[in-house]
Amino acid sequence: MRKLYFILFVLTFVVSSCQFKLSPDNADANNTMLTIERYDRLEYRYLTTGDFSALQRMNTEYPMETRTLIEDVVQIGNATDPDINTKFLKFYQDTTLQSLIASVESEYANIDDLNKQLNIAFQHLKHSLPDVGIPRIYAQISALDQSIVVGNGTVGISLDKYLGEDYPLYQKYYSPMQRKQMTKEYIVSDCLWFYLTSVYPLKDSDKRPQLERDLHMGKIQWVVNQALRKNIFRTKYVQVVERYMAKNPRISYDELLKTTDFSKLELR
């Protein structure tokens, strides 16, 4: 059964400097491990012009991504329904969504900077977590639904959720705090955060106290901070983990993320 992890806007981020246990500053960004696949461009062609060849490529080259988008993200039906292609096309014909699609393709015509940032971040992550695999990453247009979708070794980035805090449509539906996080600057941290959440899930999370769930999330966010060389996440739970790791430098990141003995993490 596929597991999907959807990003929620729940935290306040503050960027500041910190110390790291990572690879050297001159990590080779040209040693490409991944490139964001432009599934969104096939969507654009089909959803704006009805180009059937684009739909065929979506179904043959990206069957899992298309099924996830239809069934779990926009939730318009079953991907095997005989009329699903018509439903899919009709759903996106709303004038607001057509404008959104055009904005995405204009804003993200070139994503070389994102590819470079993701490669550097995953190089740093692999230095600390060598057994963590590198996911396939693709871009999509989700009709303002989920921002990040993770499942089966893939990470889907909904570019329509990262058009900038001043994007006019956002002001109608999102709070100022939410809009601050709906910018390109948060794409890489969001990808790492939710990918690691899928790799290191908290067992029996729904049965655990809220404090343990918060501390587990703090562990993941702390590791993401190290990979990005920025304190993107600055909650009190991240600070707890930071103090713990400063006192226990021999503990590996893998051990940290796997431990469920939260009594070792002292709140102040």
Q: Tell me, what DSSP letter sits at residue 252?
A: -
Say how far apart CA 37 and CA 81 lie, in whole Å. 26
pLDDT at 7 over 70: no
pLDDT at 6: 42
- Could you tell me the sign of the dihedral formed by the alpha carbons of 236, 175, 202, 212, in that order? positive
163 touches 40 (CB < 8 A): no
pLDDT at 59 over 80: yes
Backbone angles phi, psi at 158, to 5 degrees: -85, 100
Q: How confident is the model at residue 216 (pLDDT cuts 50, 70, 90)?
A: very high
pLDDT at 264: 83
Say how far apart CA 72 and CA 89 lie, in whole Å. 16
* Angle CA 7–8–14, to nearest 5: 100
pLDDT at 146: 86
Mean per-residue pLDDT, 156-171: 96
The two tokens of residue 203 are: 């067992």
Q: How confident is the model at residue 36 (pLDDT cuts 50, 70, 90)?
A: very high
Give me Rg for the CA atoms of the chain.
Answer: 19
The two tokens of residue 252 are: 């590996």
179 touches 161 (CB < 8 A): no
pLDDT at 268: 62
- Measure the N-to-C terminal CA separation of the chain; round to a whole number of Å: 40
pLDDT at 34: 86
pLDDT at 215 over 60: yes
pLDDT at 17: 31
pLDDT at 24: 36
Helix axes 112-128 and 187-199, enclosed angle (nearest 10): 40
pLDDT at 198 over 90: yes
Please, which residues have CB within 8 angstroms of residue 246's CB and are 6 or more apart in sequence?
A: none
Of 39-43, 111-115, 145-149, minimum mean pLDDT range: 145-149
100-140 pLDDT, tens per residue?
999 999 999 999 999 999 999 999 999 999 999 999 999 99
pLDDT at 18: 33
Please, which residues have CB within 8 angstroms of residue 194's CB and are 6 or more apart in sequence?
A: 5, 6, 7, 148, 150, 155
- The mean pLDDT of the chain is 87
Say how far apart CA 103 and CA 105 lie, in whole Å. 6
**Among residues of the chain, what percentage have pLDDT more than 70?**
87
Say how far apart CA 164 and CA 169 lie, in whole Å. 10
pLDDT at 145: 85
21 touches 226 (CB < 8 A): yes
Query: What pTM value is reported for the model?
Result: 0.85
- Reduce the DSSP state of residue 195 to 3 states and report it: helix
Mean per-residue pLDDT, 210-229: 96
3-state DSSP percent of the chain in helix, strand and coil, to 5 = 55, 5, 40
Mean per-residue pLDDT, 44-61: 95
In one-letter notation, the amino acid at residue 196 is L
pLDDT at 62 over 70: yes
226-257 pLDDT, tens per residue?
999 999 999 999 999 999 999 999 999 999 99
Helix axes 39-49 and 84-91, enclosed angle (nearest 10): 90
CA distances from 94 to 47, 141, 143, 219 (A): 10, 14, 10, 41
